[in-house]
Amino acid sequence: DVKVTQSSRYLVKRTGEKVFLECVQDMDHENMFWYRQDPGLGLRLIYFSYDVKMKEKGDIPEGYSVSREKKERFSLILESASTNQTSMYLCASRPTGWEDTGELFFGEGSRLTVL
């Protein structure tokens, strides 16, 4: 079975801290994604990566950056956390190429609270 693992289920950080959210998948998928989920807003795409060292902005990249140094790992970075980044963050991976015809495999999510 495909496994997408997010390093932390729950995090509490302070405003201004640098935050790393880690995601690892074990099925050699090329594509990886970071979403945030907020009540009433659904899932919104932050960044995605089609391959190692490649990244593309999603719909809401402001305040975030990402890193994909290895195929299996995709990190989301909050350079200076703010309270409006309190949210549930979901990582996903997918085995297809450029054409989006495949299902996404999701991790269990990381609930971040910024105080």
Partner 1 sequence: AQKVTQAQTEISVVEKEDVTLDCVYETRDTTYYLFWYKQPPSGELVFLIRRNSFDEQNEISGRYSWNFQKSTSSFNFTITASQVVDSAVYFCRSNYKLTFGKGTLLTVNP
Site string for partner 1, 45-84 (x = CB under 8 A): x--x---------xx-------------------------
CB of 80 to partner 1, least distance (A): 26
**Which own/partner pairs from 100-109 qualify as long-range (CB within 8 Å, at least 24 positions apart)?**
104/33, 105/2, 105/4, 105/25, 105/27, 105/29, 106/4, 107/4, 107/5, 107/6, 107/23, 108/6, 108/9, 109/6, 109/9, 109/37
Our finding on whether 105 is near partner 1 (CB under 8 A) is yes
Q: Which range in 11-19, 60-68, 71-79, 87-95 contacts partner 1 by CB under 8 A?
A: 87-95
